[in-house]
Amino acid sequence: MDISIFRQLADQTAQIITSWPNDLIAQYQFLSLPQTGNYTKDFIGDELYNRIREAFIPGEIKIAEQCRALIGELIYDQILDSRPIEPYCELLEKIRDATQFQQTVGNNTCEEWRNAIEYAHLSVQQISLNTTKSLQRTYPNYFAVEFATLRLRSIGYSIDRDGSKMTLSDQMELHLVAKIESLVHEFGGLSVTRQISDFLRAVYDEQQERYHLVILKPKVSEPQQPLIPWGYLFQLAVKHYQGGKSSGIADHRRFKFFFSLYFQ
Protein backbone atom coordinates (compact mmCIF):
# COMPACT_ATOMS: atom_id res chain seq x y z
CA MET A 1 0.00 0.00 0.00
CA ASP A 2 1.33 3.38 -1.03
CA ILE A 3 1.01 6.07 1.64
CA SER A 4 -0.49 8.57 -0.82
CA ILE A 5 -3.19 6.05 -1.78
CA PHE A 6 -3.86 5.38 1.90
CA ARG A 7 -4.35 9.10 2.49
CA GLN A 8 -6.79 9.25 -0.43
CA LEU A 9 -8.79 6.25 0.81
CA ALA A 10 -8.93 7.71 4.32
CA ASP A 11 -10.22 11.02 2.98
CA GLN A 12 -12.75 9.36 0.68
CA THR A 13 -14.22 7.18 3.44
CA ALA A 14 -14.31 9.84 6.16
CA GLN A 15 -17.97 10.62 5.46
CA ILE A 16 -18.98 7.36 7.16
CA ILE A 17 -18.29 9.12 10.46
CA THR A 18 -21.39 11.28 9.99
CA SER A 19 -23.54 8.13 9.82
CA TRP A 20 -22.19 6.64 13.05
CA PRO A 21 -24.81 7.05 15.81
CA ASN A 22 -23.96 8.00 19.38
CA ASP A 23 -26.61 5.76 20.89
CA LEU A 24 -25.39 2.25 21.76
CA ILE A 25 -28.53 0.48 20.56
CA ALA A 26 -28.40 2.42 17.32
CA GLN A 27 -24.80 1.30 16.86
CA TYR A 28 -25.96 -2.33 17.12
CA GLN A 29 -28.55 -1.58 14.46
CA PHE A 30 -25.99 0.19 12.27
CA LEU A 31 -23.77 -2.91 12.32
CA SER A 32 -26.77 -5.27 11.91
CA LEU A 33 -25.93 -7.03 15.16
CA PRO A 34 -28.44 -9.20 17.08
CA GLN A 35 -30.30 -6.95 19.50
CA THR A 36 -30.51 -9.38 22.36
CA GLY A 37 -28.86 -9.57 25.76
CA ASN A 38 -26.74 -6.81 27.21
CA TYR A 39 -25.59 -3.92 25.05
CA THR A 40 -21.95 -3.01 25.68
CA LYS A 41 -19.36 -0.72 24.12
CA ASP A 42 -16.76 -3.46 24.46
CA PHE A 43 -18.80 -5.72 22.20
CA ILE A 44 -19.04 -2.94 19.61
CA GLY A 45 -15.29 -2.38 19.81
CA ASP A 46 -14.55 -6.09 19.36
CA GLU A 47 -16.96 -6.30 16.43
CA LEU A 48 -15.32 -3.36 14.67
CA TYR A 49 -11.91 -5.01 15.11
CA ASN A 50 -13.34 -8.26 13.71
CA ARG A 51 -14.60 -6.43 10.65
CA ILE A 52 -11.26 -4.72 10.14
CA ARG A 53 -9.61 -8.15 10.10
CA GLU A 54 -12.29 -9.63 7.86
CA ALA A 55 -11.80 -6.82 5.35
CA PHE A 56 -8.56 -8.50 4.27
CA ILE A 57 -8.74 -11.58 2.07
CA PRO A 58 -6.02 -14.03 3.17
CA GLY A 59 -2.87 -13.46 1.15
CA GLU A 60 0.86 -12.96 1.66
CA ILE A 61 1.06 -9.42 3.09
CA LYS A 62 1.30 -9.11 6.87
CA ILE A 63 -1.06 -6.23 7.55
CA ALA A 64 0.32 -5.17 10.93
CA GLU A 65 3.84 -4.87 9.48
CA GLN A 66 2.44 -2.90 6.55
CA CYS A 67 0.73 -0.53 8.99
CA ARG A 68 3.95 0.01 10.90
CA ALA A 69 5.83 0.88 7.71
CA LEU A 70 3.09 3.30 6.66
CA ILE A 71 3.17 4.97 10.07
CA GLY A 72 6.90 5.43 9.55
CA GLU A 73 6.20 7.18 6.25
CA LEU A 74 3.66 9.44 7.95
CA ILE A 75 6.25 10.39 10.55
CA TYR A 76 8.77 11.16 7.81
CA ASP A 77 6.18 13.23 5.93
CA GLN A 78 5.44 15.23 9.04
CA ILE A 79 9.05 15.92 10.05
CA LEU A 80 10.52 16.49 6.59
CA ASP A 81 7.60 18.09 4.75
CA SER A 82 5.28 19.30 7.56
CA ARG A 83 2.40 17.22 6.21
CA PRO A 84 -0.49 16.36 8.56
CA ILE A 85 -0.20 13.05 10.35
CA GLU A 86 -3.80 12.76 11.54
CA PRO A 87 -6.31 11.24 11.11
CA TYR A 88 -4.18 8.82 9.07
CA CYS A 89 -1.89 7.72 11.88
CA GLU A 90 -4.70 6.80 14.26
CA LEU A 91 -6.49 4.89 11.51
CA LEU A 92 -3.34 2.88 10.87
CA GLU A 93 -2.87 2.27 14.58
CA LYS A 94 -6.43 0.95 14.77
CA ILE A 95 -5.84 -1.42 11.86
CA ARG A 96 -2.49 -2.51 13.28
CA ASP A 97 -4.01 -3.05 16.72
CA ALA A 98 -6.79 -5.16 15.23
CA THR A 99 -4.52 -7.33 13.09
CA GLN A 100 -1.21 -7.78 14.88
CA PHE A 101 -2.10 -10.43 17.48
CA GLN A 102 -3.87 -12.70 15.00
CA GLN A 103 -1.19 -12.00 12.38
CA THR A 104 -3.77 -11.07 9.76
CA VAL A 105 -2.56 -11.33 6.18
CA GLY A 106 -4.07 -9.83 3.04
CA ASN A 107 -3.54 -9.14 -0.64
CA ASN A 108 -2.89 -5.41 -0.21
CA THR A 109 -5.66 -4.34 -2.58
CA CYS A 110 -7.32 -0.93 -2.46
CA GLU A 111 -10.71 -2.55 -1.88
CA GLU A 112 -9.45 -4.41 1.18
CA TRP A 113 -7.90 -1.29 2.61
CA ARG A 114 -10.96 0.82 1.83
CA ASN A 115 -13.20 -1.54 3.81
CA ALA A 116 -10.74 -1.76 6.69
CA ILE A 117 -10.35 2.02 6.82
CA GLU A 118 -14.12 2.52 7.00
CA TYR A 119 -14.34 0.34 10.09
CA ALA A 120 -11.21 1.98 11.49
CA HIS A 121 -12.97 5.36 11.17
CA LEU A 122 -15.85 3.98 13.21
CA SER A 123 -13.49 2.44 15.75
CA VAL A 124 -11.79 5.81 16.26
CA GLN A 125 -15.21 7.36 16.85
CA GLN A 126 -16.07 4.62 19.30
CA ILE A 127 -12.83 5.04 21.28
CA SER A 128 -9.74 7.04 20.35
CA LEU A 129 -6.25 5.70 21.01
CA ASN A 130 -4.75 9.23 21.10
CA THR A 131 -1.76 7.87 19.23
CA THR A 132 -0.17 11.21 18.38
CA LYS A 133 0.61 11.97 22.03
CA SER A 134 2.69 8.81 22.43
CA LEU A 135 3.98 8.52 18.87
CA GLN A 136 7.61 9.37 19.59
CA ARG A 137 7.66 6.95 22.51
CA THR A 138 6.08 4.16 20.44
CA TYR A 139 8.25 4.62 17.33
CA PRO A 140 11.55 6.05 18.62
CA ASN A 141 13.65 4.66 15.79
CA TYR A 142 11.60 6.37 13.09
CA PHE A 143 12.05 9.69 14.85
CA ALA A 144 15.77 9.05 15.38
CA VAL A 145 16.23 8.40 11.66
CA GLU A 146 14.32 11.53 10.72
CA PHE A 147 16.17 13.81 13.11
CA ALA A 148 19.44 12.39 11.75
CA THR A 149 18.17 13.07 8.24
CA LEU A 150 17.42 16.66 9.17
CA ARG A 151 20.92 17.07 10.61
CA LEU A 152 22.52 15.69 7.45
CA ARG A 153 20.33 17.95 5.33
CA SER A 154 21.36 20.95 7.41
CA ILE A 155 25.03 20.39 6.53
CA GLY A 156 24.37 19.85 2.85
CA TYR A 157 23.78 16.12 2.37
CA SER A 158 20.82 14.99 0.27
CA ILE A 159 18.89 11.87 1.27
CA ASP A 160 17.25 9.31 -0.99
CA ARG A 161 13.89 8.08 0.24
CA ASP A 162 12.09 4.89 -0.73
CA GLY A 163 8.96 4.55 1.36
CA SER A 164 10.11 4.31 4.97
CA LYS A 165 13.73 3.64 3.99
CA MET A 166 16.25 6.48 4.08
CA THR A 167 19.69 6.22 2.47
CA LEU A 168 22.53 8.41 1.32
CA SER A 169 23.09 8.33 -2.41
CA ASP A 170 26.38 6.77 -3.57
CA GLN A 171 27.73 10.22 -4.39
CA MET A 172 26.72 11.66 -1.02
CA GLU A 173 28.18 8.65 0.79
CA LEU A 174 31.52 9.15 -0.96
CA HIS A 175 31.37 12.84 -0.10
CA LEU A 176 30.67 12.05 3.57
CA VAL A 177 33.54 9.54 3.75
CA ALA A 178 35.87 12.09 2.17
CA LYS A 179 34.73 14.69 4.70
CA ILE A 180 35.44 12.38 7.62
CA GLU A 181 38.91 11.57 6.31
CA SER A 182 39.72 15.24 5.71
CA LEU A 183 38.72 16.04 9.29
CA VAL A 184 40.94 13.26 10.63
CA HIS A 185 43.83 14.72 8.64
CA GLU A 186 43.03 18.20 9.94
CA PHE A 187 42.95 17.09 13.57
CA GLY A 188 45.91 14.75 13.22
CA GLY A 189 46.01 11.06 13.99
CA LEU A 190 47.52 11.57 17.44
CA SER A 191 44.75 13.94 18.52
CA VAL A 192 42.05 11.62 17.17
CA THR A 193 43.62 8.66 18.97
CA ARG A 194 43.62 10.58 22.24
CA GLN A 195 39.96 11.51 21.86
CA ILE A 196 39.04 7.90 21.09
CA SER A 197 41.02 6.69 24.09
CA ASP A 198 39.21 9.16 26.35
CA PHE A 199 35.88 7.81 25.16
CA LEU A 200 36.87 4.16 25.48
CA ARG A 201 38.25 4.73 28.97
CA ALA A 202 34.78 5.80 30.09
CA VAL A 203 33.17 2.54 28.89
CA TYR A 204 35.81 0.15 30.23
CA ASP A 205 34.65 -2.38 32.84
CA GLU A 206 37.54 -3.27 35.15
CA GLN A 207 35.78 -6.29 36.64
CA GLN A 208 34.94 -7.82 33.28
CA GLU A 209 38.12 -6.47 31.67
CA ARG A 210 36.25 -5.43 28.57
CA TYR A 211 34.93 -2.34 26.79
CA HIS A 212 31.15 -1.92 26.56
CA LEU A 213 31.00 -0.42 23.09
CA VAL A 214 27.39 -1.40 22.37
CA ILE A 215 25.24 0.86 24.51
CA LEU A 216 22.08 -0.98 25.44
CA LYS A 217 18.81 0.89 25.25
CA PRO A 218 17.87 2.07 28.75
CA LYS A 219 14.19 1.92 27.80
CA VAL A 220 12.16 0.22 25.11
CA SER A 221 10.82 3.63 24.13
CA GLU A 222 14.30 4.95 23.30
CA PRO A 223 16.09 4.33 19.98
CA GLN A 224 19.21 2.21 19.72
CA GLN A 225 22.25 4.46 19.50
CA PRO A 226 24.35 4.10 16.33
CA LEU A 227 27.61 2.19 16.61
CA ILE A 228 30.87 4.00 15.88
CA PRO A 229 33.38 2.00 13.77
CA TRP A 230 36.31 2.38 16.14
CA GLY A 231 38.60 0.15 14.09
CA TYR A 232 38.06 2.28 10.99
CA LEU A 233 38.77 5.46 12.96
CA PHE A 234 41.98 4.02 14.36
CA GLN A 235 43.07 3.11 10.84
CA LEU A 236 42.39 6.67 9.68
CA ALA A 237 44.30 8.00 12.68
CA VAL A 238 47.32 5.89 11.73
CA LYS A 239 47.03 6.97 8.10
CA HIS A 240 47.02 10.65 9.07
CA TYR A 241 49.36 10.41 12.04
CA GLN A 242 51.47 13.29 10.74
CA GLY A 243 48.46 15.53 10.12
CA GLY A 244 46.98 18.15 12.39
CA LYS A 245 47.82 21.62 13.53
CA SER A 246 51.35 22.45 14.53
CA SER A 247 50.23 23.02 18.10
CA GLY A 248 48.79 19.52 18.19
CA ILE A 249 45.52 20.84 19.62
CA ALA A 250 42.44 20.35 17.45
CA ASP A 251 39.48 22.71 17.57
CA HIS A 252 37.11 21.15 20.10
CA ARG A 253 33.87 22.22 18.41
CA ARG A 254 34.96 20.85 15.05
CA PHE A 255 35.94 17.59 16.70
CA LYS A 256 32.42 17.33 18.13
CA PHE A 257 31.10 17.93 14.62
CA PHE A 258 33.39 15.15 13.37
CA PHE A 259 31.93 12.70 15.88
CA SER A 260 28.39 13.85 15.10
CA LEU A 261 28.85 12.60 11.53
CA TYR A 262 29.00 9.10 12.94
CA PHE A 263 25.91 9.58 15.05
CA GLN A 264 23.63 10.32 12.08
pLDDT at 12 over 60: yes
pLDDT band at 247 (very low <50, low <70, confident <90, very high): very low
Lowest-confidence range among 113-122, 151-160, 171-180? 151-160
pLDDT band at 8 (very low <50, low <70, confident <90, very high): very high
Max mean pLDDT among 80-89, 164-173, 190-199, 249-258 falls in 80-89
- At 174 the pLDDT is 87
- At 248 the pLDDT is 46
CB crowding 49-65: b at 16 or more within 10 Å, else e: bebbbebbeeeebebbe
More confident residue, 16 or 127: 16
Tell me the pTM: 0.71
Each residue of 165-223: pLDDT tens digit?
778 788 888 888 888 888 888 888 888 888 888 888 888 888 888 887 766 655 555 65
Task: Calculate mean pLDDT across residues 45-61.
Answer: 93
pLDDT at 64 over 90: yes
Asked whether 137 and 128 are in contact (CB, 8 A), the reply is no
Q: Please name the amino acid found at residue 60.
A: E
Torsion of CA 243, 240, 173, 73, to 10 degrees: -80
- Going from N- to C-terminal start, the domains of the chain cover 3-140, 169-262
Task: Calculate mean pLDDT across residues 49-76.
Answer: 92
pLDDT band at 115 (very low <50, low <70, confident <90, very high): very high
- At 261 the pLDDT is 59
Angstrom distance (rounded) from CA 214 to CA 203? 10
- At 218 the pLDDT is 55
Cα dihedral across residues 74, 79, 83, 87: positive or negative: positive
pLDDT above 90 coverage of the chain, percent: 31
pLDDT at 246 over 50: no
